[in-house]
Structure 1
Amino acid sequence: MHQKRSVAALTVGALTGGALFAVAVGGLLAAAPRAAAADVTCAANVYKRTFYKNTSFSGSPARTDCDTAVGQSWSGSPVSGVPSNNFGVRWSVTRDFGSGGPFTFTASATDGVRVYLDGVRKIDLWKNTGDTARSKGLNLTVPSGKHTLRVDYVNWSGAAKVTYTYTPRTSATYDRTKPLAPTGVKTAYSTKTRKTTVSWAANKEMDLGSYSLYRRAVGSSTWTKVATTTTGVRSHTDPLVNPDDRTPYYYEVRAKDKAGNASSGSTDTIVRPLPVVTSLTGVYDKATRKVALKWPLNTEPHFDHYTVLSNDLVDGRYVWVPLGTTKGATWTTGAITADGETRHYRVLVTNDGGTTTYNPNRLDAVATNELWLEVPDGIAPAYAPDLTLRTCALGVQATVSDYTPAPIRDFTGLEVERRAAGTEAWSVVLHQGYDPRSANATATVCDPLPADGSTYEYRARTYDTAGNYSPASTIMTVTVN
């Protein structure tokens, strides 16, 4: 007698649960692994809900979908393929609680319901109650950041009812946790309307009451509240006080919750009604006697052009004189006198709305768009001094004198040189300053020389602090006997 071999297959009605089939192997039925339920991705802060055909949440789910809230009342089977009794439903969601704080968890259900926070059971009502529901509320503190909530519900028999909520406690008596500072602050300045629009990202707090926008001028420590908005409004256009204001401003956004706790300010965001030149450098070329200016090129969308200015003497007073305009980041001046004076240059920015950087007539030593450049002195003293020679105990006495009045002297010292007649090289025998209190600038040196009948030549010059020398005096000759 032959053993009967059979093959049996069973297909689960709920397609999302996959298929279960059995194959007779050696006369015994062996259960093949069931295919995993189709993966479901839910929107932010929306529960993923899974149905099980048992109360132990074992095996693959019979169905998986998304649910905006835990609040159900089933009189029979909750979904196709799941029995009316002895089934389980699990809800789970991971969300950002912002700064966290005090919350109330509330659950109500017929039969069994359990609530978990990050895997830790917080509410446990696990008993077959038939059609009678009971509830429980729990006050607890949720830490800041992301956390996972899970609700497990089972229905053993009778009506299937379950609700769960988690809500922040907004009374100032309990909530003393400051909201997180807003993030994602962006600014956009319009050169046509001369207004600034500030926008920011939604705060992750669940008990948020309002946002406030603040502004302060660069260089000031005082914040001015510009506007307060509801939680649904996350932008504001600030017209400023003066539409022609060229002052750069900082903006920051603060959040306040329903308990009155205020966050710190968002990261300060600077708005410049005009692009600015953040640094200005320059080099003087002795060969061409020109100054080459350089600055960082602006990339702001509302930049239009630069204006280069020089502070020059006009009609008896110094004023800023435009040298020209450019869209580039360099400028070379015309030839200037190498007089050892400090030259002052400034670069202004004009935006596409026609507004130009503030241009006060005074000098500003700390302005980033202003350069104070000391030009080397290339002008030598104009006149040669006088030179006289006499004998002294050791050799030759040389005296150099200049009779230019003290207020207009353009030299700081006197020099005498000597060389042997018929040679080229000069030796310095005197190089010194003079007494400025004297009517004449003069200096004397006794140059020790052997009385061997040799002939020497002498000349004198004046010099300034930059090392420029005047023309030399007439060469004088002396023979030492």
Structure 2
Amino acid sequence: MHQKSLLAARTGGALSAVVFGSLLVATPHAAAADVACSTNVYKRTFYKNTSFSGSPAKTDCDGVISQSWSGSPASGVPSNNFSVRWSVMRDFGSGGPFRFAASATDGVRVYLDGVRKIDLWKGTGDTARSKSVNLTVPAGKHTLRVDYVNWTGAAKVKYTYAPRTSATYDKTKPLAPIGVKTSYNTTSRKTTVSWSANREMDLASYSLYRRPVGSGTWTRVTTTTSRSHTDPAVNPDDRTPFYYEVRARDKAGNSSSGSRDTIVRPLPIVSSLTGSYDRATGKVSLKWPLNTETHFDHYTVLSNDEVDGSYAWVPLGTTKGNTWTTDPITPDGEFRHYRVLVTNDGGTTTYNPHWLDATASNELWLGIPDGTAPAHAPDLALSTCTNGVGATVTDNTPAPIRDFTGFEIERREVGTDTWSVALHGPFDPRRTPATASVCDPLPADGRSYEYRARSYDAAGNYSPSSAVHGVTRPAR
């Protein structure tokens, strides 16, 4: 049997502990040597005393607590009156119901996050006894610690912890899998999905699901105990993108929520296409985000042009960059349509329908400014009006084919170069011919004036000017 009372002593400046009967009073002790152990592996420290005090005689790593020492457990440690401490921090995943079990000769104590859960602290000689407890471990990381003391006789100690996997007790859903990655093989047209190991200790299997983008219905692809799966080709023409997610299931039958959805686009697409027209050069500049898929090969830029009396998508060229500048284009006030396709290293190209698609992200409808002026000059007639000159502009173009929206009449004094606007505005579209008039107030001072007229369209383009007409105001 162990000594009933042991006076505390100071060793190397570190205060040891005092044993009163079967009660060990914990006191400060030296820290264990800094040994790094693998994930979920215990750090084990040996002490030459039963109070866990002073510098450890040895520190190492131990994967399982299941020991039976018939003599000294380590070099420099006595066969009797020694102590061993195991500690580890591990991730319990979603947590839930667990069973802690310990058996030992002499003293063993088990702690969870510093709280004692098992206490068998009594000298037993060579006879071991055991105890188990059921408890709920919260989700996340927690510290386990096992303290063992051998006073005399055989030194045996064992400790295990395991989840309770009966559906009667375990109602906790596993954590959703993380680290989901996808890759698409352009040759086999198959998608491989992989994911990180779940942190649950009672994991039974994983299930892989997929659904088409735009659909809310998931289809289970497989249930597996591995952490990757290659999905067979489900869309031979490669047009439909799919979402994939992974769910975990534990031994009690609880299923996790789905992992973060991961999209797989068999064909890389241009997610947006923008462009602008340069009036100075007459060229259109296109731009789009550069694709980052490993199987990207090149882009093809197309324009929707008239070919043999009908419109078709005509390739302008290919590039590996994400910009394109067209040849000069006539500013005609019409819409131009552009599309950018992506080809992967398997030779498959983005879906390319013959028609226009206003909702396609890789298609641009660009309005080109109107640079074509009205073709003909209007007619101009002068008359007199109260205190001035009457000017009337007329155009006989039929209403359905008029290419102008208003008239402008200008006037200047003979012998000068500067024209002034006497009239600028629309006409009554219901009248034929189109006409507009103005009474231009001028003093009766004997001066001579010249007038001219022109039409303009909605883009601000002006027609040629009419013939110049002159008039002289009477002198008074």
TM-score, structure 2 as length reference: 0.88
1:218 to 213, 218, 227: 213
Deviation at 1:37, TM superposition (A): 8.0
The sequence identity of aligned pairs, in percent, is: 79
Counterpart amino acid of 1:471? P
Partners of 1:79 and 1:480 in 2: how far apart? 128
1:173 and 2:168 matched = yes
1:257 and 2:247 matched = no
Partners of 2:320 and 2:73 in 1: how far apart? 72
1:70 and 2:65 matched = yes
Partners of 2:317 and 2:223 in 1: how far apart? 46
Corresponding residue number in structure 2 for 1:188: 183
Partners of 2:34 and 2:279 in 1: how far apart? 77
Deviation at 1:412, TM superposition (A): 0.5
Counterpart amino acid of 2:405? T
Partners of 1:293 and 1:62 in 2: how far apart? 73
Partners of 1:132 and 1:365 in 2: how far apart? 84
Moved more, 455-464 or 167-176: 167-176
Partners of 2:32 and 2:400 in 1: how far apart? 101
Corresponding residue number in structure 2 for 1:146: 141
Q: How many positions carry a matched residue from both structures? A: 446
- After superposition, what is the alpha-carbon deviation per residue over 1:181-213, rounded to whole angstroms, capped at 9, x for unaligned? 222222221111111111111111111121122
Corresponding residue number in structure 1 for 2:327: 334
Deviation at 1:330, TM superposition (A): 2.1
Deviation at 1:152, TM superposition (A): 1.5
Corresponding residue number in structure 2 for 1:108: 103
Counterpart amino acid of 1:281? T
Partners of 2:291 and 2:158 in 1: how far apart? 59
> Is the partner of 1:189 in helix, strand or coil?
strand
Deviation at 1:116, TM superposition (A): 0.9
Partners of 1:39 and 1:426 in 2: how far apart? 95
- After superposition, what is the alpha-carbon deviation per residue over 1:18-45, rounded to whole angstroms, capped at 9, x for unaligned? xx9xxxxxxxxxxxxxx99875433221
Q: 1:209 to 1:37 in 2, by over 3 A?
A: closer
* Equivalences for residues 442-453 of structure 1 within 5 A: 442-453=435-446
Corresponding residue number in structure 1 for 2:131: 136
Corresponding residue number in structure 1 for 2:346: 353
1:241 to 231, 234, 240: 234
Counterpart amino acid of 1:381? P
Counterpart amino acid of 1:67? D
2:336 to 327, 337, 343: 343
Corresponding residue number in structure 2 for 1:23: none
Partners of 1:212 and 1:118 in 2: how far apart? 33
Corresponding residue number in structure 1 for 2:304: 311
2:115 to 111, 120, 132: 120
Corresponding residue number in structure 2 for 1:302: 295
- After superposition, what is the alpha-carbon deviation per residue over 1:200-253, rounded to whole angstroms, capped at 9, x for unaligned? 1111111112112222333333333222211xx100111241132233333222
Do 2:238 and 2:267's aligned partners in 1 also have CA atoms closer than 8 Å? no
Deviation at 1:370, TM superposition (A): 1.7
Partners of 1:408 and 1:320 in 2: how far apart? 30
> Is the partner of 1:407 in helix, strand or coil?
helix
Moved more, 38-47 or 110-119: 38-47
> Is the partner of 1:214 in helix, strand or coil?
strand
Deviation at 1:462, TM superposition (A): 0.6
Partners of 1:441 and 1:466 in 2: how far apart? 19
Do 2:412 and 2:450's aligned partners in 1 also have CA atoms closer than 8 Å? yes
Do 2:94 and 2:140's aligned partners in 1 also have CA atoms closer than 8 Å? yes
Deviation at 1:176, TM superposition (A): 2.2
Corresponding residue number in structure 2 for 1:17: none
Do 1:37 and 1:62's aligned partners in 2 also have CA atoms closer than 8 Å? no
Partners of 1:268 and 1:63 in 2: how far apart? 49
* Equivalences for residues 265-276 of structure 1 within 5 A: 265-276=258-269
Corresponding residue number in structure 2 for 1:364: 357
Do 2:32 and 2:45's aligned partners in 1 also have CA atoms closer than 8 Å? no
Deviation at 1:339, TM superposition (A): 0.6
Deviation at 1:172, TM superposition (A): 2.5
> Is the partner of 1:282 in helix, strand or coil?
strand
Deviation at 1:303, TM superposition (A): 1.3
- After superposition, what is the alpha-carbon deviation per residue over 1:146-175, rounded to whole angstroms, capped at 9, x for unaligned? 222111222333333322111111223322
Corresponding residue number in structure 2 for 1:322: 315
Deviation at 1:273, TM superposition (A): 1.9
Corresponding residue number in structure 1 for 2:370: 377
Deviation at 1:52, TM superposition (A): 3.0
Counterpart amino acid of 2:122? K
Moved more, 288-297 or 192-201: 288-297
Partners of 1:114 and 1:436 in 2: how far apart? 100
Q: 1:107 to 1:390 in 2, by over 3 A?
A: same
1:289 and 2:288 matched = no
Deviation at 1:79, TM superposition (A): 4.2
Could you list the runs of 5+ residues in structure 1 that have no partner in the other structure? 1-19, 21-34
Partners of 1:321 and 1:80 in 2: how far apart? 84
Partners of 1:37 and 1:318 in 2: how far apart? 81
Q: 1:458 to 1:163 in 2, by over 3 A?
A: same
Do 2:33 and 2:56's aligned partners in 1 also have CA atoms closer than 8 Å? no
1:470 to 463, 470, 475: 463
Partners of 1:38 and 1:287 in 2: how far apart? 77
Could you list the runs of 5+ residues in structure 2 that have no partner in the other structure? 1-11, 13-29
- After superposition, what is the alpha-carbon deviation per residue over 1:367-413, rounded to whole angstroms, capped at 9, x for unaligned? 33222221111100000111111222332221111111111110011
Corresponding residue number in structure 2 for 1:14: none
Corresponding residue number in structure 1 for 2:17: none
1:280 and 2:283 matched = no
